[in-house]
Amino acid sequence: KVYPAVNTDLLFAGIILHDLEKINEMDSSELGIVKEYTLEGNLLGHISLGVKNVDRICDRLNTPEEKRMLLQHMILSHHYEPEYGSPVKPMFLEAELLHHIDMIDARMFDFTLAVRDLEPGAISESIFSLDRRRIYKPTF
């Protein structure tokens, strides 16, 4: 409701689909612990696999072409930077929002992991994924 211009159906679809192919990118145990990347994961990655999957499902459902492209674009652009696997940057509102939601999720995971084993009042080692910042664990 804060952003009335957002098509929430499209945003929620992007949230669900953007990393869905990680289940085929990585070989994991029943507990979800990743042992290694699959051959497909190494050669194609979850972004390419996701675009292929959306294409296949949209064909089956006779999805209008614009909806197909918007969903594919959300998958292609959610990492934002080419060095992180995105060939394009977000070009519409819901794609931009998805990128930031994904970044928040990744950052919160990295922050939580960085301080998990620290004593209160301690500062972590440099964390590569957080721009080599050191993270403080508050005492309260």
In a domain, 2, yes or no: no
User: Residue 50: exposed, middle, or buried by beta-carbon count in 10 A (0-12, 13-18, 19+)?
Assistant: buried
Q: Which residue in 10, 19, 137 sits closest to 85, CA to CA?
A: 19
Q: How many domains does the chain have?
A: 1
In a domain, 137, yes or no: no
In a domain, 85, yes or no: yes
Query: Please, what sign has the CA dihedral across residues 95, 20, 105, 135?
Result: negative
Q: Which residue's entry shows tokens 């070989």?
A: 27
Q: Which residue in 124, 125, 130 sits closest to 110, CA to CA?
A: 130
Judge whether residue 74 has pLDDT over 90.
yes
- Residue 65: domain span: 8-130
In a domain, 44, yes or no: yes
Average of pLDDT values for 57-77?
97
pLDDT tens sequence across 31-47: 888 889 999 999 999 99
